[in-house]
Chain A
Amino acid sequence: MSLRTRELLNLVLVGLLTAAGFASVYIARQDVVSAGSLSYAAFFVALFVVAHVILRMRLPHADPYLLPLGGLLCAIGLTEIYRIDPDLAFRQGLWVVVGVAVFAVLVLFVRDYRSLDSVKYILGLSAIALLVLPALPGIGRTINGATLWVDIGPLVFQPGELAKVLIVVFLAGYLRDNREMLSFGVGSGRLPSPKHLGPLLLIWGGAMLVLFQTRDLGGALLYFAIFLVMLYTATARWSFAAVGLALFLLGAFALYQVIPHVQDRVEGWLDPWSDPQGETYQLVQSIYAISGGGVFGSGLGQGILVSPEGESYIPFLETDFIFSAVAQELGLAGAAAVVLLYLLFAFRGFRISMLADDGFSKLLAAGLTAAVAIQAFIIIGGVTGLIPLTGITLPFVSYGGSSIVANFVVLALLLMVSDRVGRAER
């Protein structure tokens, strides 16, 4: 069986699950199955079949599991959002269309992704520009204590999501060029020369600055963890990662002292029951939702998530806390399944990276994969109380246009690397 046929079969499976999900929400909420809800599922499947056909044309040797994995995560998110608020689900559906369109454009028109290497500094600078954008007066928007949004006319978006991808591309190119120097150092000592260490410290400083500017602990943690993971991958020196982590913790601790928002989050994590009607309300409600789901959950559409007035008990349920909603309605089984889907995604992504034969491709695939996995860990860890809660989207699942589009870009790049690997293998 060819890779693409396997992919198609996987997508059919995803389609069936999506149809079942929409139908069960509809049954719970309307007492009747309407053809309308099934047509949503059909439309959703058609969208991914289009992506599949494009892969068949352009990247026949790409991994057959990544697109269905992304599709399934998208479907889980869309179903849960549909259950929370059908209007939001419609908008999320539109964003998935945009995401697939961007995916198609990249796959169809980027002849060789390695040409990105030559514009890496431009991409790196663009990433910084994107990160600084929300801090600019006039267009920046602060939601829930973090300045992450840019508001231009009718469009509100989170530039940080796209910056994440650009940073990975830049680091892949930069670390490939400098990995020898960084690994072995120069001169008598084991330390790399300042010339090579300089840019790394610059990035650390940049991450701290962004963190300070935007109050976005989750984003800063994500960017910095991506950086450390890629640095370790490139140099094999875990001491770099350890020193980097120590520096980050130091910076975070300093910020903890001065930013009350960060203090609240950390204190709420240490003792969620200290102020369940105030500071820790979100986390406590999230824990209630997760624990209330039981092993198999209340069933889609039957969880206790939204009041009769239409307000969700957990603020930001459809974005940051979507995992809690899934855990409530699909239970521990569903929650664990979502986590395992990310693990599977990481497995396929890292596999591509290991099979790739050039440094840029290896680092690119490892970085993109790590970005998705780290992001999933930060937010799931946050809403379950494993680590301090920081607002960040759950890749492919959370409501949010910037996040969906950025993750489809990640998917396209990974599949491009994968196709090159596949061609070389034959």
Chain B
Amino acid sequence: MNPQIRRLFFAFTFLFVALIATATYWLWRAPDLEARQGNPSLIVRQLEVRRGLIYASNGTTVLARNRKRELEDGRVWWLRRYPERELTAHAVGYSTIARSRTGLEQSLNDFLTGSNANLSTVIDSTLDKLRGLTQQGNDVVTTLDANAQRTAMRELAPDCGAAVALEPATGRVLVLASSPSFDPNLAEARFRRIEQIQAPCAPAAPLLDRATAGRFVPGSTFKVVTAAAALDTGRFTPESEFDDPGYCVEYGRRVFNYSDQGTPSGYGRVTLAEAVENSINSVFCNLGKELGADTVLDYAEGFGFYDRPPIELPSDEVLISGLYQNGRLYRPEDASQVDPGRLAFGQERLIVTPLQMALVAAGVANDGVVMEPQLVQRIVAPDGDVIERFDPEEWKQAIKPGTAAELTAMMTRVVESGTGTSAQISGVDIAGKTGTAETGVAGRNNTWFIAFAPAGNPKVAVAVALSNQSGTGGATAAPIARAIMQAILGRNP
């Protein structure tokens, strides 16, 4: 048996050399691996930097701060603490060793650690290093309205959903709320507690920022886009008349209105404005067929669909809205592959984020111009100098000002006397649109409300989306949007 044993030994020698070779290979890859997100050594090095603080828009409410920790060997680590806990968990995100970083903590990491490539900060931090001082990062002042954000979080709970509020003229993000939320202080060591969070939807996915990456069917809120296309092309006016038999015929089959499934009664002869007010599917179905899917999608693009909203969050946390096929964004070359009727009232395979729908509302509110959504106001150096100020930028020219005015008038009627009356605030004109997207399962509707106020001089545009609802958008989402708008308008009416 000795020859076999000798061969075995050689085989093991070969295998063990292969092990050493593999370890050596990883050593050779070290420079590339070291820079990777999630590599603790990179993060630990940055723990020695005192990260900048993150503030709400008032510049006083602290959303992220540091806790000093002296290690046994005398080194000092600055660990992150989030005093507002669940409040801005998605927008601000977390910075941990074990779980890397998310949200602004990730996208603004260079500013927060003071390693942004700006000559003066590089000199400062090098001097600090030479003097043995703790390196200090820059503070970030966000655009988030802490009070309105708190209202949004309170109103959303315990449902699964999200709310976004923007300042239409500047694109400033006042509210970016997603429910269920989580306590980012748990992300470092008690991540399991986050994974165990329960919510009335499966998966509960508390880490998912539903406001910017939640996949919702837009339902009737998309009628704003369809109506915008109808008016802006000049082919229809708010007074254009349609016949509503209670259903619309597509490919030889009847597509029924929401409220009267299977019992075709219909509103009879209605104007486009009335169709918006009462959210009549059959009218929009016919409108979609007349306009064609391509035109509707062109206008959707005008509002920002098929483009990633340039908000200051990591790009993998911001979903692009549009038609999706097999989980992938899908912009058909050939419009005949899309059902224009169902597209027109927001079904088809449309997937949108609450942020995108807030941008639609804001675009209408801002005379047809969609501003870049902006989550950061300014970045302030440790000595108080403003390093960078984020100015409002135009993002998309969606529709003509005249079209925006006509849409505003129609949307105001939705809240005055249509499907969105529960969003009314006394003394304020509100323009809004409800949405109830059916998923085919009872109690599993996506419900929506998008709005802006005051209609004559918009200060806030808002979108609220909820999943797994049995009621309508008017009954479930509109009251939440109302509370958020009230919180924002209440302080600067």
Chain B 475-489 per-residue mask, 1 if CB under 8 angstroms from chain A, else 0 = 000000000000000
Flag if A350 contacts B8 (CB, 8 Å).
yes
Q: How far does the alpha carbon of A346 sit from the alpha carbon of B38 in the complex, in Å?
A: 37
Flag if A276 contacts B38 (CB, 8 Å).
yes
Q: How far does the alpha carbon of A344 sit from the alpha carbon of B12 in the complex, in Å?
A: 11
Flag if B3 contacts A366 (CB, 8 Å).
no
Given known A-B contacts A236-B1, A350-B9, A335 and B41 have beta carbons under 8 A apart: no
Q: Which of B1-34 touch A at CB < 8 Å?
A: 1-6, 8-9, 12-13, 15-16, 18-20, 22-24, 26-27, 29-30, 33-34
Distance of A395 from chain B, by nearest CB (Å): 13
Flag if B5 contacts A336 (CB, 8 Å).
no
Distance of B467 from chain A, by nearest CB (Å): 23
Please name all residues of chain B whose beta carbon is closer than 8 Å to the beta carbon of A47 when the two chains form the complex: none
Q: Which of A311-357 touch B at CB < 8 Å?
A: 311, 313, 327, 332, 335-336, 339-340, 342-343, 346-347, 350, 353-354
Distance of A385 from chain B, by nearest CB (Å): 7
Flag if B98 contacts A311 (CB, 8 Å).
yes
Stretch of A6-14, A83-91, A97-105, A290-298 that contacts chain B? A290-298
Flag if B40 contacts A288 (CB, 8 Å).
yes
Given known A-B contacts A292-B30, A332-B27, A386-B18, A285 and B40 have beta carbons under 8 A apart: yes
Distance of A386 from chain B, by nearest CB (Å): 4
Flag if B5 contacts A366 (CB, 8 Å).
yes
Stretch of A226-234, A252-260, A411-419 that contacts chain B? A226-234
Please name all residues of chain B whose beta carbon is closer than 8 Å to the beta carbon of A288 when the two chains form the complex: 33, 36, 38-41
Distance of A265 from chain B, by nearest CB (Å): 17
Please name all residues of chain B whose beta carbon is closer than 8 Å to the beta carbon of A302 when the two chains form the complex: 73
Flag if A342 contacts B73 (CB, 8 Å).
no
Flag if B98 contacts A307 (CB, 8 Å).
yes
Flag if A291 contacts B22 (CB, 8 Å).
no
> Does A287 interact with chain B (Cβ within 8 Å)?
yes
Please name all residues of chain A whose beta carbon is closer than 8 Å to the beta carbon of B19 when the two chains form the complex: 339, 377, 380-381, 384, 386
Q: How far does the alpha carbon of A370 sit from the alpha carbon of B2 in the complex, in Å?
A: 14
> Does A362 interact with chain B (Cβ within 8 Å)?
yes
- Residue of B at shortest CB range from A365? B5
Please name all residues of chain B whose beta carbon is closer than 8 Å to the beta carbon of A192 when the two chains form the complex: none
Flag if A233 contacts B4 (CB, 8 Å).
yes
Flag if B9 contacts A346 (CB, 8 Å).
yes
Interface range on chain B: under 10, 10 to 19, 20 to 34, or 35 or more? 35 or more
Flag if B12 contacts A343 (CB, 8 Å).
yes
Please name all residues of chain B whose beta carbon is closer than 8 Å to the beta carbon of A346 when the two chains form the complex: 9, 12, 16
> Does B335 interact with chain A (Cβ within 8 Å)?
no
Please name all residues of chain B whose beta carbon is closer than 8 Å to the beta carbon of A362 when the two chains form the complex: 1, 5
Flag if B23 contacts A327 (CB, 8 Å).
yes
Q: How far does the alpha carbon of A210 sit from the alpha carbon of B39 in the complex, in Å?
A: 36
Q: Which of A155-198 touch B at CB < 8 Å?
A: none
- Residue of B at shortest CB range from A305? B40
> Does A30 interact with chain B (Cβ within 8 Å)?
yes
Q: How far does the alpha carbon of A350 sit from the alpha carbon of B11 in the complex, in Å?
A: 12
Report which of B8, B40, B98 forms a contact with A366, defined as CB distance below 8 A.
Answer: B8
Please name all residues of chain A whose beta carbon is closer than 8 Å to the beta carbon of B188 when the two chains form the complex: 307, 309
Please name all residues of chain A whose beta carbon is closer than 8 Å to the beta carbon of B44 when the two chains form the complex: 304
Flag if A342 contacts B16 (CB, 8 Å).
yes
Flag if B20 contacts A311 (CB, 8 Å).
no
Given known A-B contacts A29-B72, A307-B97, A311-B189, A233 and B8 have beta carbons under 8 A apart: yes
Report which of B24, B72, B79, B99 forms a contact with A30, defined as CB distance below 8 A.
Answer: B72
Report which of A290, A308, A347, A385 forms a contact with B9, defined as CB distance below 8 A.
Answer: A347
> Does A118 interact with chain B (Cβ within 8 Å)?
no
Report which of A310, A353, A377 forms a contact with B15, defined as CB distance below 8 A.
Answer: A377
Q: How far does the alpha carbon of A277 sit from the alpha carbon of B12 in the complex, in Å?
A: 34
> Does B74 interact with chain A (Cβ within 8 Å)?
yes
Given known A-B contacts A288-B41, A308-B77, A377-B16, A384 and B9 have beta carbons under 8 A apart: no
> Does B69 interact with chain A (Cβ within 8 Å)?
yes
Distance of B421 from chain A, by nearest CB (Å): 45
Flag if A335 contacts B5 (CB, 8 Å).
no
> Does A262 interact with chain B (Cβ within 8 Å)?
no
> Does B117 interact with chain A (Cβ within 8 Å)?
no
Please name all residues of chain B whose beta carbon is closer than 8 Å to the beta carbon of A29 when the two chains form the complex: 72-73
> Does B71 interact with chain A (Cβ within 8 Å)?
yes
> Does A135 interact with chain B (Cβ within 8 Å)?
no
Q: At the interface, is chain B mostly helix, strand, loop or mixed?
A: helix
- Residue of A at shortest CB range from B32? A291
Distance of B37 from chain A, by nearest CB (Å): 8
Flag if A353 contacts B5 (CB, 8 Å).
yes
Distance of A88 from chain B, by nearest CB (Å): 18
Q: How far does the alpha carbon of A290 sit from the alpha carbon of B27 in the complex, in Å?
A: 7
Report which of B3, B26, B40 forms a contact with A236, defined as CB distance below 8 A.
Answer: B3
Please name all residues of chain B whose beta carbon is closer than 8 Å to the beta carbon of A377 when the two chains form the complex: 12, 15-16, 19
Report which of A236, A359, A386 forms a contact with B22, defined as CB distance below 8 A.
Answer: A386
> Does A28 interact with chain B (Cβ within 8 Å)?
yes
Q: Which residue among B1, B30, B44 has the maximum number of chain A CB atoms within 10 Å of its CB?
A: B1
- Residue of B at shortest CB range from A381? B19
Please name all residues of chain B whose beta carbon is closer than 8 Å to the beta carbon of A384 when the two chains form the complex: 19, 22-23, 26
Q: How far does the alpha carbon of A295 sit from the alpha carbon of B30 in the complex, in Å?
A: 11
Distance of B451 from chain A, by nearest CB (Å): 37
Please name all residues of chain A whose beta carbon is closer than 8 Å to the beta carbon of B189 when the two chains form the complex: 307, 309-311
Please name all residues of chain B whose beta carbon is closer than 8 Å to the beta carbon of A366 when the two chains form the complex: 1, 5, 8
Given known A-B contacts A291-B30, A362-B1, A340 and B16 have beta carbons under 8 A apart: yes
Q: Which of B64-87 touch A at CB < 8 Å?
A: 69, 71-74, 77, 79
Please name all residues of chain B whose beta carbon is closer than 8 Å to the beta carbon of A45 when the two chains form the complex: none
Distance of A321 from chain B, by nearest CB (Å): 13
Q: How far does the alpha carbon of A327 sit from the alpha carbon of B24 in the complex, in Å?
A: 11
Report which of A295, A350, A354 forms a contact with B27, defined as CB distance below 8 A.
Answer: A295
- Residue of B at shortest CB range from A312? B98
Q: How far does the alpha carbon of A137 sit from the alpha carbon of B34 in the complex, in Å?
A: 45
Q: How far does the alpha carbon of A362 sit from the alpha carbon of B98 in the complex, in Å?
A: 49
> Does A300 interact with chain B (Cβ within 8 Å)?
no
> Does A363 interact with chain B (Cβ within 8 Å)?
yes
Distance of A322 from chain B, by nearest CB (Å): 14
> Does B100 interact with chain A (Cβ within 8 Å)?
yes
Flag if A287 contacts B20 (CB, 8 Å).
no
Flag if A363 contacts B1 (CB, 8 Å).
yes
Given known A-B contacts A307-B97, A377-B12, A354 and B26 have beta carbons under 8 A apart: no
Q: How far does the alpha carbon of A232 sit from the alpha carbon of B33 in the complex, in Å?
A: 41
Please name all residues of chain B whose beta carbon is closer than 8 Å to the beta carbon of A74 when the two chains form the complex: none
Q: Which of B35-77 touch A at CB < 8 Å?
A: 36, 38-41, 44, 69, 71-74, 77
Distance of B319 from chain A, by nearest CB (Å): 18
Flag if B34 contacts A292 (CB, 8 Å).
yes
Distance of B6 from chain A, by nearest CB (Å): 7
Q: How far does the alpha carbon of A297 sit from the alpha carbon of B459 in the complex, in Å?
A: 58
Distance of B73 from chain A, by nearest CB (Å): 6
Report which of A234, A284, A339, A340 forms a contact with B1, defined as CB distance below 8 A.
Answer: A234
Please name all residues of chain A whose beta carbon is closer than 8 Å to the beta carbon of B15 when the two chains form the complex: 377, 381
Report which of A229, A295, A304, A343 forms a contact with B40, defined as CB distance below 8 A.
Answer: A304
Flag if B8 contacts A229 (CB, 8 Å).
yes
Q: How far does the alpha carbon of A285 sit from the alpha carbon of B41 in the complex, in Å?
A: 10
Known: A229-B8, A292-B33, A346-B12. 11 other contacts (CB 8 A): A285-B38, A288-B41, A292-B30, A294-B27, A304-B44, A308-B69, A313-B40, A342-B16, A366-B8, A373-B16, A386-B19
6 residue pairs, one from A and one from B, having the closest CB atoms: A309-B189, A291-B26, A291-B30, A384-B22, A386-B22, A288-B39
Q: List 14 A-B contacts (CB under 8 A).
A: A28-B73, A232-B4, A233-B5, A276-B36, A276-B38, A277-B38, A292-B30, A293-B27, A295-B27, A332-B27, A343-B16, A353-B5, A363-B1, A377-B16
